Structure 1
Amino acid sequence: MSDIDEPSTGEPSPPEGAPARPGLSRRALLFGGIAVGGLAALGGGALVYREIRRSAGPEGTWVKLSPIVPVPDALPREQSPAFEEAGTETTVAVWAHADDDIIFANPHLSTVIASGATLRTIFVTAGDAGRGLAYAQQREAGIRAAYDMMRGSTAPWQTREITLLSGARVTRFVPSDDPRLSVTVLRLPDGNLSAKGFPSTGDAGLTQLINGIVPALKPIDDGPTLDAGRLSDTIAELIHAAGADRITTNIPHESAFARGDHPDHSCVGSLVRAVAPAVGIAVDAVTYYIGYPSQHEPANVFGTELDGKVDVYETYAAHDPVVTCDGPAACLAQPGFGQWLRRSYAKGDAELRLA
């Protein structure tokens, strides 16, 4: 939320500032996991209700971010346990949260999958919003369902835990009938719209890690802790292990387009931008997608492309109890999401308007 701090009760907020569904149902009166029936007890009920009713989407807090250090200066000498067979025109997509891709990078994402190209997706945080692993796993299930819709198959996905050369432990999902696709999750704690994290995960996230406020982050699935160096090594190892030809990711913090974006988006974009050269990815082979601030740009997704994008999002949202929407019209009526679904803005490095 743009002008509301985390409620004093410690109740978790929804992922990436996700608003409630419009309407008067009980689910519609949820925002940040807080029932409107309990707003009076929070003392800020009117303010929260205004956020529910407003038509604009949420905006994240802009916090100064330190440079990404250290950055890997050499590729691993041995093959990573996360190695994936090289494919055709391999894109490695690195995102902060499960749904960033289907909201901000579609319809391009659907085009990549339909083309037969290879796509390796990495989600850095759990997008848990302080709600715990079970909620994060619901979001992951939603992403797999969304990918199933885009690839036209519902064959089961295989799951494997991998300990990397960096020491990190990740979970990887691969469709049993389509090895050119994979989804890998690190499950680091969600940093919150405030960039202050959530009480249930130690009030810490990527912003605090990069800025040196905390020495390390603990994944919410109890994997090994990651300090800043190990996180950079992990991102580099996963990109290299996938044999990336291209990378897509969030807008980096140093871009003017990051103002008002979710802090986690900015952190991931900056991590990827710093790490990409270490794994041999040319500057012009990285594409960055505008996040929350895209709502201020003209709509540019229309017709059948918009229909397809909304169908994919609705499929995901059916697994995410915070943003579930009953039909395309309801999805497009959601504050924030409705604007983002109608837009998709990709930027090359030269277009980032770097500060």
Structure 2
Amino acid sequence: MPRPALPSFRRGLLMAAPIAVLLGITGGTLALTTGPSDASDVPSRGVPEAQAVKPVRTAGASVLQIMAHPDDDLFFMNPDTSQSIASGHSLTSVYLTAGESDGRNARRQDPRPPADKAAYAEARQNGIRAAYAEMATGNRTSPWDRTSVATAGGGRAELNTLRAKPQITLVWLQLREAGSITGDRPHSLHGLWDGRVERLESMLAAGSPVREDFSYGKEQVIETLTGVLGRFRPTFVRMMDPTPGLNDRTGKLSDHQDHMYGARFAQAALARYADSPGHPPVAVQNYLGYSTGGLPHSLDPRSTEAKLRTLKTYAWWDHTDYCEDPAGCGDRKVAARPAGHGWAQSIRHARGGSASWVQRGAGKGELYAFSVLDGRLAVWHRDGASPWTGPVLQRGGGLDAGVTSVRLPDGRIAVFATRTALDGEYRREVVTSVQAAPGGAFGAWRSLGTPERDDASRTSDISLPAVLVDRAGLMTVYVRDAGHSMSVRARRADGGWSPWRPAGGRDLRGDPVAAVDATGRGHVFAATPATVVAWAQAAPGGPVAGPVPTGLPATTVALSATPDGADGVRLWFRKPASGDVRTARFAGSGHPASPVRDVPGDVAGYGAVGASGGHLAVRAASGAVAAAPVGGGRWETGRSLFAGAPAATGAGFATLGLDNRLNWSPWRR
């Protein structure tokens, strides 16, 4: 039903003295009163769509973020979000739910105010607008135009455009949130996805230009998100992890159910959008949610400070009436703990963090690079000193972000990924595609299944595969499963594959990595919150023993491994709460053959390390790539943002820009 407009004298009272309704003034700060709230009855603060500033779609990279709640971006996607804003390219943030919670905008230690869900939703919107305005212009009060737009799902959404930077936009779909992290809430994204309810109702924020309530069925939510993708035409989409797994201690979801099912709705929309003609191909980055707080901090102190400053702006930390809105200027629940539960100190890409997506081909100087665009394998090729060509999108969709690749003894390349099936039962599986001949075309995807029984039991939480190749060309695939242990499946001499079997390990996190040394011995590594464990061959062709404690200190979980010298491999990782690069050498036993060494230079940043030929390439604190010699020297930093991790070869290193262009740089000699 449409909301009743306030009488003109009441509207004038709110405009002249908005804090008199809800709030008392004490020394320039706001103190909540205990009286009833009228904020949910305020008139629209929007302007007609024809009069609003129009969003600007910049050339090149265009990023769209899809979140369940206001603040998911600030807790889990920042500093990636702030770096996109600073780049000057288009950024659109889409919020599926209103985030209304219990409707009480107060810290736990504050007096308990009356519940007003519309007002709390408005306050959270105000906090997001202030945080984005401050990141973009330095001024949290930089104005926005708010307007109502039709959606492809038959409802309406609120569109906000930052006047000073119209390439920055916010889209509020304003659906009802679950109101519980893991509790049984049928009227939620979870219930709608599973078919427990046929429709999910709206929860409109006070002051929203969307004035008439609506509801969506599952299909309409997918259509709405598909329409948003079509309107803003992104090249890069950020979203939460749709398979976050379970908490080992409680057996419950390790993340908020809205995060998980919001990401699944985004997956479904992206799959549908991939089939639409004429759009720019889209790459995807997933982010770890609540569980990142239980892992070693991945951000350096300066990045943490900047992230926390933005969160305090969102949380209305100073509690002054700068926005003149009776609903409030931010999220006071977050003001009680603006760093969350260790979330401000970290950021983690849940998929797409492999550093082994560039591979040497059979010819002299021949290289291949791989990514996932529109859910399909994208292949770039370089023949010797000639320029790179591509991308060529291979047949077969549904791939998740991130691939890993290995070179077989005959010069062929095998690519491994995970794939999600959305038709019918949600299912995620490991897949592989192998060149038919050296330098030839890649074959059809072959499913290797999954070590998981089903999605319902543990949310299909599997890692990107790590792969060992022996001298006969037989491959062994290692996957971190949803029980946070290792599972393995091996190629047999007759061409078939063994069943999945457990390989041990406890509390494993992130993606395992693998490397084969010059003698032919295989090494596999996986991180835990406290250390790294290894599986290794004592002799070429022998059994792979493990897990073996390495005794290494904690890492930020993102690992990479490369052959080193005549008889070893080198593991690369980051120092927690610093981002500086560290390394240790292994030689067949699973125990380090050398002490941990810190690579000279203060580079900070996060994510996996690309290493080859005595050189390193990493993500710097700025979000751009930085390169340096292994032995030390000045880090040379680029300017463009990129997806995932850099990949390194003996000739140079590659990154994939947020515009989905392959960037290649030879090493400086």
Question: What is the TM-score of this pair, normalised by structure 1?
Answer: 0.68
| 3-state SS, counterpart of residue 174 of structure 1 | strand
Match of residue 145, structure 2, among 158, 178, 182: 158
**Cα distance, 1:277 vs structure 2:** 2.7
* Aligned twin of 2:124: 139
CA distance in structure 2 between the partners assigned to 1:256 and 1:220 by the alignment:
29
Cα RMSD, aligned residues only? 2.5
Encode CA deviations 1:187-207: one digit per residue, 9 max, x unaligned: 11111213434xxxxx61111
Decide whether the 8 Å contact of 1:118 with 1:181 is kept in 2.
Answer: yes
Match of residue 191, structure 2, among 208, 211, 214: 208
CA distance in structure 1 between the partners assigned to 2:192 and 2:65 by the alignment:
22
Percent identity over the alignment is: 24
Q: Write out aligned runs for 1:310-325 (5 A).
A: 310-318=308-316, 319-325=330-336
Q: Structure 1 pair 182/350, CA: closer, same or farther in 2 (3 Å)?
A: same
Decide whether the 8 Å contact of 2:234 with 2:282 is kept in 1.
Answer: no
Decide whether the 8 Å contact of 2:75 with 2:343 is kept in 1.
Answer: yes
| 3-state SS, counterpart of residue 304 of structure 1 | helix
* Aligned twin of 1:341: 344
| 3-state SS, counterpart of residue 215 of structure 2 | coil
| 3-state SS, counterpart of residue 335 of structure 2 | coil
Q: Write out aligned runs for 1:116-127 (5 A).
A: 116-127=88-99
Question: What is the TM-score of this pair, normalised by structure 2?
Answer: 0.37
Q: Structure 1 pair 320/339, CA: closer, same or farther in 2 (3 Å)?
A: same
Deviates more, 1:316-325 or 1:337-346: 316-325
**Cα distance, 1:338 vs structure 2:** 4.3
Decide whether the 8 Å contact of 1:196 with 1:204 is kept in 2.
Answer: no
Give the number of the structure whose alpha-carbon radius of gyration is greater.
Answer: 2
Opposite residue 339 of structure 1, the aligned amino acid is G
Match of residue 157, structure 2, among 152, 157, 170: 170
Decide whether the 8 Å contact of 1:173 with 1:182 is kept in 2.
Answer: yes
CA distance in structure 2 between the partners assigned to 1:284 and 1:224 by the alignment:
30
CA distance in structure 2 between the partners assigned to 1:210 and 1:243 by the alignment:
25
Opposite residue 344 of structure 2, the aligned amino acid is L
Q: Write out aligned runs for 1:214-233 (5 A).
A: 214-221=197-204, 222-233=212-223
Decide whether the 8 Å contact of 2:56 with 2:90 is kept in 1.
Answer: no
* Aligned twin of 1:185: 172
* Aligned twin of 2:182: 194
Structure 2 residue runs of 5 or longer lacking an equivalent are: 1-30, 32-53, 104-116, 205-211, 317-329, 353-400, 404-460, 464-481, 483-669
Decide whether the 8 Å contact of 1:251 with 1:266 is kept in 2.
Answer: yes
* Aligned twin of 2:266: 272
Encode CA deviations 1:237-261: one digit per residue, 9 max, x unaligned: 0011101110001111376799410
**Count of aligned pairs:** 261
CA distance in structure 2 between the partners assigned to 1:239 and 1:255 by the alignment:
27
1:301 has 2:291 as partner = no
Decide whether the 8 Å contact of 1:259 with 1:293 is kept in 2.
Answer: no
1:261 has 2:255 as partner = yes
CA distance in structure 2 between the partners assigned to 1:289 and 1:254 by the alignment:
10
**Cα distance, 1:121 vs structure 2:** 0.6
CA distance in structure 2 between the partners assigned to 1:125 and 1:242 by the alignment:
19
Opposite residue 305 of structure 1, the aligned amino acid is S
Decide whether the 8 Å contact of 2:199 with 2:216 is kept in 1.
Answer: yes
CA distance in structure 1 between the partners assigned to 2:245 and 2:280 by the alignment:
18
Decide whether the 8 Å contact of 2:66 with 2:266 is kept in 1.
Answer: yes
**Cα distance, 1:155 vs structure 2:** 2.3
**Cα distance, 1:98 vs structure 2:** 0.3
CA distance in structure 1 between the partners assigned to 2:223 and 2:74 by the alignment:
26
Which has the larger share of strand?
A: 2
Encode CA deviations 1:172-223: one digit per residue, 9 max, x unaligned: 11111211010011111111213434xxxxx611111111111101101253
CA distance in structure 1 between the partners assigned to 2:284 and 2:64 by the alignment:
10
Match of residue 287, structure 1, among 285, 291, 295: 285
Decide whether the 8 Å contact of 1:256 with 1:353 is kept in 2.
Answer: no
**Cα distance, 1:344 vs structure 2:** 0.4
Opposite residue 193 of structure 2, the aligned amino acid is I
Q: Write out aligned runs for 1:70-81 (5 A).
A: none
CA distance in structure 2 between the partners assigned to 1:240 and 1:284 by the alignment:
11
Decide whether the 8 Å contact of 1:195 with 1:264 is kept in 2.
Answer: no
Decide whether the 8 Å contact of 2:95 with 2:173 is kept in 1.
Answer: yes
CA distance in structure 2 between the partners assigned to 1:216 and 1:157 by the alignment:
31
Higher relative contact order, chain-length normalized (CA < 8 Å, sep 6+): 1
CA distance in structure 1 between the partners assigned to 2:245 and 2:166 by the alignment:
34
Decide whether the 8 Å contact of 2:124 with 2:314 is kept in 1.
Answer: yes
Decide whether the 8 Å contact of 1:128 with 1:190 is kept in 2.
Answer: yes
1:235 has 2:225 as partner = yes
Decide whether the 8 Å contact of 1:277 with 1:283 is kept in 2.
Answer: no
